[in-house]
Structure 1
Amino acid sequence: MKAAVLEDIKKLVVKQVSDPCCGEGDVIVKVEACSVCGADIRTYNFGHRNIILPHILGHEIAGMIVEKGKNVNNFRIGDRVNIYPAIACNECDWCRRGMQVRCDNTIQIGDDTPGGFAEYIKIPAKAVNNGSLITIPEGLSYELAAVTEPLGCVLNGQELCNVKMGDVVLVIGAGPIGCMHVILAKARGARTVILADINQKRLELAEEIGADCYINSSETVLSDKMLEYTRGKKADVVIVACNSQKAIQDSLELLDWGGETINLCRIAQRRFNNTD
């Protein structure tokens, strides 16, 4: 089969590789769509401590089952499926408490096993048994199904910070994750949703998602513009959806009393100041 193999930092090569072999409890999926996550871009540019190159990345995957082991009874050949990439151990303390997302021994499809930037992918038996295969409803495209993984992260974040009816929500970062947060916050009943970014092009592309206010924080002071729009009301929830130390700092300064903030970003080897 063909696969996009990361052979070295910033060296991605499309080449022929061996087809995956299906074990008795495994499933082989023909990949129809695999979206590019920010983590994939970060690994492409800088590598990953858990990934030994060469490696096939990609964990936001949708496709069709084309082969299954003899012990797989709950799926059929031809089923359209979305793949949840995190395989929990179901044995550690977190798993036993029902919080598999914090599993100490998670195996990640696309990191620890070959990912979806290929024609076919093997879903190991443990993932099949853990519920990693989710049937795609009729009428939903493979392309949309592939992004349900990041959408699930967005939903989990808003449930954790309790976005609710009447809230003022500030989203910093107008990429795909930030845009999903805007749409979901509006759907959950937020009164005012503000989207900020330093990239005017991204803000223009995001106009169709229906934020109440768009702020280019490279051209104006974010706090001034936001408080002007809200008539002095700070945010009940601030969501940081970009890798920026300043954005995290701003999120704390723009949060109202009793408010909550969540950061969907990774900042390495940096220190934060003035967070009183």
Structure 2
Amino acid sequence: MRAFRIIGPLKGEVVEQKVYEIKANEVLVRVGACGICGTDIHIFKGELPLKYPVVPGHEISGEVIEVGSEVQFFRKGDKVAVNPNLYCRKCYYCKRGLVHFCENWKAIGIHLPGGFAEYVKVPEFLLHKVPETLSFEEAAFAEPIACCLHGIRRLEISTGDKVAVFGLGPIGLIHIQLAKMSGASLVVGIDLIEKKLKIAESLGADYTINAGSKDPVKEIMSLTEGRGVDKVIEATGSPKVLEQALRVIDYCGKILVFGVAPP
């Protein structure tokens, strides 16, 4: 099979390698689609502490090709989406249902071979069946949307809330839609690229701000009669933008720090 692997900072190669052999509790998935996440870019640039080489890609959908002898709920031909977070189910946090804080956490596409390949092997408990009505490309969004949903639930957007979303990459655009679906009366999208602002408007943003030509703090305060917004979603990872988020949040408001800031 072919796979793309990162062998060091700013160094990658396409290689031919053997198809993975699966264990009794694992499933072999033929990759149908795999999104390119900001994390993959950080890996490629050498900005994350990990061991090279690595096959990146963790936003994965595909088709089941082979199942291990102990697999119970999946069969060859099933369309699936992958949860890339391998948690141990035994540590202090896993036993309390906080699997995202697993003390032995590993991730497909970071520590284990990911979806930038023709095939990926996955423990059964990390697979989710996908309706045939969804395309592989749509199903690959299951992972980033799940992350955004978790953030939105922690943010607790109420009907009528005013929400600002800083950064309109794929994650920010997902948050725009989820904020509107959660009942926000005003959703403001902020970015430096005009094309992204137009997409945000098409996906439900009520107002957009080009931070390259306007001061987002002044604009947001003007929109809210000087009070600021109830909720802010910071999806850039920029310390400067986080400072702006703090300046536009109203009393008793909440900020979701979703972007990954540099070390």
Which residue of the partner structure matches residue 6 of structure 1? Answer: 6
What secondary structure does 1:238 align onto? strand
Q: Percent identity?
A: 36
Superposed CA offset, 1:98-134 (max 9, x none): 11111111121111110010000111xxx32xx3100
Instruction: Name structure 2 gaps, 5 residues minimum.
Output: none
Structure 1 runs not aligned, ≥5 long: 270-276
**Residues 201 and 207, structure 2, Cα contact 8 Å, conserved in 1:** no
Partner of 2:42: 42
- In structure 1, what is the Cα distance between the partners aligned to 2:164 and 2:200? 14
CA deviations 1:149-204 (Å, max 9, x no partner) are: 01111110010010121100000001110010010000011010000112223213
Counterpart amino acid of 1:207? Answer: E
Secondary structure, counterpart of 2:240 in structure 1: helix
Is the counterpart of residue 115 in structure 1 residue 114 in structure 2?
yes
Task: Measure the CA separation in 1 of the matches of 2:225 and 2:35.
Answer: 39
SS of residue in 2 equivalent to 1:55: coil
Q: Which residue of 1 aligns with 2:224?
A: 230
Could you say which residue in structure 2 is the equivalent of 1:273?
none
Distance 2:88 2:72 in 1: 22
Deviations 1:187-234 (A, max 9, x none): 011010000112223213333112000001121111111122223331
Q: Normalising by structure 2, report the TM-score.
A: 0.96
Q: Distance in 1 between matches of 2:100 and 2:53?
A: 27
Q: Which moved more, 1:162-171 or 1:192-201?
A: 192-201
Whole-angstrom CA distance in 2 between matches of 1:183 and 1:34? 21
**1:242 paired residue number:** 236
Is contact 2:161–2:184 with CA below 8 Å preserved after alignment?
A: yes
Q: Structure 1: which amino acid aligns with 2:39?
A: A
Residue 219 of structure 1 corresponds to which residue in structure 2?
Answer: 213
TM-score (norm: length of structure 1) = 0.92
Kindly provide the CA deviation profile for residues 21-65 of structure 1, in whole angstroms up to 9, marking residues without a partner as x.
122221100000000010001110125312x22221111000000
Q: Map 1:1-276 onto structure 2 (within 5 A).
A: 1-50=1-50, 52-123=51-122, 127-128=123-124, 131-269=125-263
Number of residue-to-residue matches in the alignment: 263
State the alpha-carbon separation in 2 of the partners of residues 19 and 203 from structure 1. Answer: 42
Kept in 1, the 8 Å contact 2:63–2:80? The answer is yes
Matched to 1:171, the amino acid is: V
Contact preservation (8 Å) 2:8, 2:46: no
Distance between the aligned counterparts of 1:209 and 1:107, measured in 2? 34
CA contact (8 A) 2:54 2:111 kept: no
**What secondary structure sits across from 1:153 in the alignment?**
helix
CA distance in 1, matches of 2:66, 2:74: 10
Q: Is the 8 A contact 2:164 2:229 kept in 1?
A: yes
193-202 vs 134-143, which deviates more?
Answer: 193-202
What's the offset of the Cα at 1:71?
1.3
Distance 2:22 2:84 in 1: 18
1:163 maps to amino acid: I
Aligned to 1:274: none
Give the AA of the match of 1:115.
G
Provide the C-alpha distance between the structure 2 equivalents of 1:152 and 1:26, rounded to a whole number of angstroms: 22
After the TM superposition, which of the residue ranges 243-252 and 77-86 deviates more from structure 2? 243-252
Query: SS state of the match for residue 248, structure 1?
Result: helix
Tell me the CA shift for residue 265 of structure 1: 1.6
Distance (whole Å) between structure 2 residues aligned to residue 181 and residue 96 of structure 1: 30
